C-alpha cells in the first residue's frame, strides 16, 4: 500500500494559505477595476510603499508594530487617492490603453524612486513568528496570520459593499456608470472612495507581506504580475471570480513548485492562465 | 575617427531604435503587446545556447531562433485574435507570455546559468578581432554598420507596411473591429501577419543584442521589465511616426548617460525616476510622444495655406 505523501499535503495546505493572501491582493485591484474601469498596473508598487512604511516606522522610528501597520494602511490609502486624483483622473476620458500605460509609468517611477530613496538593499523587519508543527508538517505562523487577516479583510469588504449605503453606491456605479449620476450618486466622489479603499487593501496586503518577505525596490515585480493575472482569470471586476482564481493559482505555484522547482510552479500557473484565456476570455465569472 | 564611447552609444541607440520600431509596428495599430520581451529573449538565448552547448553557428542559431519566435507568436497570437482578446486583455495575456519566457530561462538554470546570465564562448582566438562565422566582432565599427543596416531595414518595413493595404485594414480594425470584419477584412489573419513581422524583427534584435554585448541575462533581455521598456520607449518618442521610436531610444539613453555624467554614480536610479515621472506626464499631456508632438506643432505652423495632404497608400481621386 502506498503511503500518502505528507509533504504533498503540506504543499497543498501552504498553497491554501498563499491563496488567501493572493485573494486579498487581487481584491483591491478588482475593486478599482470594477468601479473605475482602470487597471492599476502599479498596484504591487503601492504594496511595496506600504512595506517600506511598516519597515521604517517600526525599525527606524521604533513605533509599535501594530501602530506602524495601521499607519501604513492609511499611508497607502492616501497614496491611492493621490494616484487617482493626479494620474487617473486626467486620463479618464482617454483611450483605455492609455489608462493602462499611465499606471505602468507610475510603476517605473515608484520603483526607481524607491531605489533612489531607500537603496537596493533587502530590508528585513526583524520580526519572526514561530512555525507551527502539525504532525510532520510545519507551517509558518506568518502565513497563517496572513491567511486569517486576509479572510477577515475580505469578509469586512463584503459586508461593507453589501450592507452599507456607500457600499451600495459603489456597487451601483460599477454596474452602470452612465445612469447612476442621474440617480444622484456623484461618480467623482465614489471614485475617490474606491481608490482609498483599494489603497487601504494594498496597505493591508503590505502589512501581511512584510512579515514573510524582505522589502526591496523590485519586490513589486514578484507580486504584481500574479495579482493582475488572477484578476483577469477571475474576470476583471468580479471579486468572487478573483477569489476562486487566487486559490487555483496558489495551488499551481505551491504544488507545482513542490513537484518540480519553484519557477516551474510559476511557469505552470502562467501557462494555465494563457490557456484559460483562450477557453474563457472573459474570466471564470466575468462579464464583458 | 570617433571614439569607442560615442560609437557604443550610437550602436545602442540604433539597436534599441530598431527594436522599439519593431514593437511600434503593432503598438500603433492598437495591438499593445507587453510580451515582446519574450521574443527578444528567445532571440538572445536560442542563439547563445545553441552556440555554447551544440556549437551551432549563430547564423544557424538565428534561423532556429526566428522559427521558434514565429511558432510562439502564432501559438499566442492566433487564439488571441480568433477569440477577440483585445485592449488590456491582450496586453495582460502577452504580459503573462513574457513572464513565462523569463521564468523558463531562470528555471533551466543548469543550462542557461539562471539569473546570473550567460556568456557565449569566445571565438576570437589569438588576437583575432573578427570571427564572422561566430558573429563575434571586437571592433565596434563592424557592429555600427550591422546595426545601422538593421535599423534601416526596420524603417523600410515600417514604410512598406504603411503603404500597403494591410495598414488600412489594420487601422480599420483598431478603430472598430466588427465594422472592419463586416466589410470583408479577415481580422485574425491581418493581425497575425503584423504580429509575426513585429515578433520576428524583435527576435532578430535579441540576436544582435546578445552577440554585441556577448552577455545575456534573463532580466536584461526578457521579462516584464524589458517589455515595458519597449512600450515606454516607443511612447516617449512617439509610436505613430516612423522615426518616433528611434527618438525615444535616443532620448532615454541620453537622459540616462547625461545624468550619469552630471552626477556620477551618486544617485543610481535618478534617471529612471525622472524617466518614470516624464512617462506619466507624456501619456497624460502628450500621448503622441516627443517627435509626434513636435511634428504636429510644425505642421500646425506651416499648414496655414490650404495644401492638399498627401495620403499614403490610397489612390487619389
Mapped onto helix, strand or coil, the DSSP state of residue A123 is strand
Most B CBs within 10 A among A30, A82, A110, A112, hence the mutation to make, goes to: A112
B248 assigned to some structural domain: no
Mean pLDDT, rounded, for B11-34 = 91
Q: Which segment of A45-59, A192-206, B3-17, B260-274 scores lowest on mean pLDDT?
A: B260-274
Residue B87 inside a domain? The answer is yes
Interchain contact B81–A (C-beta under 8 A)? no
Across B152-168, average pLDDT: 87
Q: Does B265 touch chain A (CB under 8 A)?
A: no
Is the per-residue pLDDT at B179 higher than 90? no
Is residue B235 domain-resident?
no
Asked if A97 and B88 come within 8 Å (Cβ–Cβ), the reply is yes
Report yes or no on B280 lying in a domain: no
What pLDDT, on a 0 to 100 scale, did the predictor assign at position A288? Answer: 47
Q: Residues of chain A with pLDDT > 70: what percent? A: 95
Q: What is the distance between the alpha carbons of residues A33 and A10, in angstroms, rounded to a whole number? A: 34
* Interchain CB distance below 8 Å, A261 and B107: yes
How close A163 comes to chain B (CA, Å)?
Answer: 32
Contact between A105 and A239 under an 8 Å Cβ cutoff? The reply is no
Mean pLDDT of B200-227: 90
Q: What is the CA radius of gyration of chain B?
A: 20
pLDDT at B312: 45
**Adjacent-strand bridge partners of B137:** B130
Does the pLDDT of residue B31 top 90, yes or no? Answer: no
Look at chain B and report how many structural domains it folds into.
Answer: 1
**Domain presence at residue B305:** no
What burial class does residue A99 get, using C-beta atoms within 10 Å of its C-beta: 0-12 exposed, 13-18 middle, 19+ buried?
buried
DSSP class of residue A218 equals T
Answer yes or no: is A286 within a domain. Answer: no
Cβ of residue B257 closer than 8 Å to a chain A Cβ:
no
Q: Report residue A124 as a C-alpha cell.
A: 528585513
Contact: B83, A278; criterion CB under 8 Å: yes
Does the CB of A98 have a partner CB in chain B at under 8 Å?
yes
Out of A87, A217, A225, whose CB is closest to B224?
A225
| The total number of structural domains that make up chain A | 1
State the Cα torsion A74-A76-A78-A84 to the nearest 10°. Answer: -150
Which of B70, B44, B92, B75 minimizes the C-alpha distance to A270? B92
Shortest CA distance to A264 belongs to which of B183, B288, A272? A272
Average pLDDT over residues B163-184: 80
Question: Residue B157's beta-bridge partner residues?
Answer: none
Q: Is residue B25 part of a domain?
A: yes
- Residue A133 included in any domain: no
Q: Would you say residue A230 lies in a domain? A: yes
A245 has a chain B CB within 8 A of its CB: no
Euclidean distance between CA atoms A239 and A223, whole angstroms: 18
Chain A residue numbers with beta carbons less than 8 Å from the beta carbon of B282 are 105
Domain assignment present for residue B234? The answer is: no
Q: Rounded to an integer, what distance in angstroms lies between the CA atom of residue B161 and that of residue B130?
A: 35
Query: Which of A111, A117, A263 should one mutate to test binding to chain B, selecting the residue with the greatest count of B CBs within 10 A?
Result: A263
Assigned domain for A158 exists = yes
Q: Compare B243 and A179 and report the one with higher pLDDT.
A: B243
Q: What is the mean pLDDT of each run of 10 residues along chain A (288 residues)?
A: 67 84 87 84 91 90 88 94 90 79 87 86 77 73 83 86 84 77 79 91 90 86 84 79 86 82 80 79 63
**pTM across the whole model:** 0.84
Is B78 touching A (CB cutoff 8 A)?
A: no
Q: Which residues pair with A139 in a beta bridge?
A: A132
**A116 closest CB neighbour out of B30, B96, B267:** B267
Instruction: Please name the residue of chain B whose CA is at the shortest distance from the CA of residue A101.
Output: B283
Look at residue A100 and tell me if it is in a domain.
yes
Average pLDDT over residues B199-207: 94
The Cα B206–Cα B213 span in angstroms is 11
* CB-based contact B77:B93 (threshold 8 Å): no
A chain contacts of residue B87, beta-carbon cutoff 8 Å:
96-97
CB A199, CB A46: distance < 8 Å: yes
Residue A236 lies in a domain: yes
Strand residue runs (E) in chain A = 131-134, 137-140
Q: Which CATH number goes with the domain that contains A225? A: 1.10.3470
Distance in angstroms (rounded) separating the CA atoms of residues A194 and B285: 25
Which of 189-228 (B) contact A at CB < 8 A? 224-225, 228
Grid cell digits, residue A254: 505551491
Question: In whole angstroms, what separates CA B142 from the centre of its chain?
Answer: 21
For B28, list phi and psi in degrees, rounded to 5: -70, -15
Question: Rounded to an integer, what distance in angstroms lies between the CA atom of residue A39 and that of residue A195?
Answer: 12
- For A134, the 3-state DSSP assignment is strand
**pLDDT of A199:** 93
Query: Is residue A260 included in any domain, yes or no?
Result: yes
Domain of B74, in residue numbers:
4-121+133-223
Judging contacts by C-beta atoms under 8 Å, the chain A residues touching residue B89 are 232, 277, 281
CA–CA distance from B111 to each of A270, B40, B103, B104, B105 (Å)? 22, 18, 13, 11, 9
Residue B230 CA to residue B277 CA, distance in Å, equals: 17
Q: Is residue B292 part of a domain?
A: no
Rounded to whole angstroms, the Cα distance separating A42 from A44 reads 6
The DSSP call for residue B60 is H
Rounded Cα distance between B189 and B187, Å, is: 6
Structural domain boundaries enclosing A23? 6-118+139-279
Mean pLDDT value across chain B: 85
Provide, as residue numbers in chain A, all residues whose Cβ is less than 8 Å from the Cβ of B232.
Answer: 101, 104-105, 108
Nearest-CA residue of chain B relative to A112?
Answer: B273
Asked if B93 reaches chain A (Cβ–Cβ under 8 Å), the answer is yes
Amino acid at each position: 500500500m502506498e503511503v500518502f505523501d505528507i509533504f504533498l499535503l503540506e504543499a497543498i495546505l501552504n498553497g491554501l494559505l498563499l491563496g488567501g493572501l493572493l485573494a486579498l491582493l487581487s481584491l483591491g485591484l478588482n475593486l478599482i477595476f470594477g468601479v473605475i474601469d482602470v487597471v492599476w498596473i502599479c498596484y504591487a508598487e503601492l504594496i511595496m510603499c506600504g512595506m517600506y512604511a511598516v519597515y521604517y516606522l517600526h525599525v527606524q522610528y521604533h513605533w509599535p508594530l501594530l501602530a506602524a501597520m495601521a499607519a501604513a494602511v492609511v499611508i497607502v490609502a492616501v497614496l491611492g487617492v493621490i494616484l487617482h486624483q493626479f494620474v487617473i483622473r486626467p486620463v479618464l476620458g482617454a483611450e483605455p490603453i492609455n489608462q493602462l500605460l499611465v499606471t505602468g509609468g507610475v510603476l517605473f517611477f515608484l520603483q526607481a524612486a524607491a531605489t533612489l530613496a531607500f537603496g537596493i538593499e533587502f530590508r528585513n523587519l526583524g520580526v519572526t513568528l514561530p512555525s507551527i508543527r502539525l504532525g510532520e508538517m510545519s507551517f509558518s505562523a506568518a502565513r497563517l496570520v496572513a491567511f486569517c487577516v486576509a479572510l477577515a479583510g475580505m469578509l469586512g469588504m463584503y459586508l461593507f459593499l453589501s450592507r452599507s449605503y456607500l457600499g451600495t453606491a459603489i456597487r451601483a456605479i460599477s454596474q452602470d456608470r452612465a445612469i447612476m449620476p442621474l440617480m444622484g450618486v456623484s461618480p467623482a466622489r465614489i471614485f475617490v472612495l474606491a481608490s482609498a479603499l483599494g489603497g487601504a487593501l494594498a496597505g493591508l496586503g503590505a502589512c501581511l507581506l512584510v512579515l514573510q518577505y524582505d522589502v526591496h525596490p523590485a519586490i513589486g515585480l514578484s507580486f504584481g504580475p500574479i495579482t493582475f493575472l488572477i484578476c483577469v482569470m477571475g474576470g476583471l471586476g468580479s471579486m468572487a471570480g478573483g477569489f476562486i482564481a487566487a486559490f487555483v493559482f496558489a495551488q499551481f505555484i505551491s504544488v507545482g513548485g513542490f513537484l518540480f522547482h519553484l519557477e516551474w510552479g510559476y511557469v505552470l500557473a502562467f501557462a494555465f492562465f494563457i490557456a484559460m484565456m483562450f477557453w474563457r476570455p472573459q474570466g471564470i465569472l466575468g462579464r464583458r | 575617427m570617433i571614439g569607442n564611447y560615442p560609437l557604443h552609444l550610437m550602436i545602442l541607440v540604433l539597436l534599441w531604435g530598431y527594436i522599439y520600431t519593431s514593437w511600434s509596428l503593432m503598438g500603433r495599430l492598437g495591438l499593445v503587446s507587453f510580451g515582446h520581451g519574450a521574443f527578444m529573449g528567445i532571440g538572445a538565448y536560442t542563439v547563445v545556447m545553441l552556440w555554447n552547448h551544440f556549437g551551432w553557428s549563430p547564423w544557424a542559431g538565428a534561423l532556429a531562433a526566428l522559427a521558434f519566435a514565429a511558432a510562439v507568436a502564432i501559438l499566442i497570437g492566433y487564439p488571441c485574435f480568433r477569440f477577440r482578446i483585445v485592449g488590456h486583455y491582450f496586453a495582460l495575456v502577452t504580459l503573462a507570455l513574457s513572464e513565462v519566457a523569463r521564468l523558463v530561462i531562470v528555471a533551466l538554470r543548469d543550462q542557461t546559468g539562471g539569473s546570473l546570465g550567460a556568456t557565449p564562448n569566445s571565438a576570437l582566438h589569438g588576437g583575432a578581432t573578427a570571427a564572422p562565422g561566430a558573429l563575434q566582432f571586437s571592433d565596434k565599427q563592424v557592429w555600427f554598420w550591422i546595426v545601422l543596416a538593421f535599423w534601416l531595414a526596420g524603417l523600410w518595413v515600417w514604410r512598406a507596411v504603411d503603404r500597403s493595404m494591410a495598414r488600412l485594414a489594420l487601422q480599420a480594425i483598431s478603430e472598430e473591429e466588427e465594422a472592419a470584419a463586416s466589410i470583408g477584412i479577415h481580422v485574425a489573419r491581418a493581425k497575425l501577419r503584423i504580429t509575426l513581422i513585429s515578433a520576428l524583427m524583435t527576435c532578430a534584435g535579441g540576436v544582435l543584442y546578445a552577440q554585441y554585448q556577448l552577455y545575456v541575462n534573463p532580466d536584461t533581455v526578457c521579462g516584464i521589465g524589458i517589455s515595458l521598456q519597449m512600450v515606454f520607449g516607443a511612447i516617449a518618442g512617439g509610436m505613430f511616426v516612423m522615426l518616433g521610436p528611434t527618438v525615444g531610444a535616443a532620448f532615454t539613453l541620453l537622459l540616462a548617460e547625461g545624468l550619469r555624467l552630471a552626477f556620477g554614480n551618486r544617485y543610481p536610479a535618478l534617471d529612471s525616476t525622472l524617466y518614470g515621472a516624464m512617462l506619466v506626464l507624456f501619456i497624460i499631456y502628450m500621448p503622441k510622444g516627443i517627435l509626434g508632438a513636435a511634428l504636429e506643432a510644425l505642421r500646425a505652423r506651416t499648414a496655414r495655406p490650404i495644401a492638399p495632404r498627401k495620403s499614403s497608400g490610397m489612390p487619389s481621386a
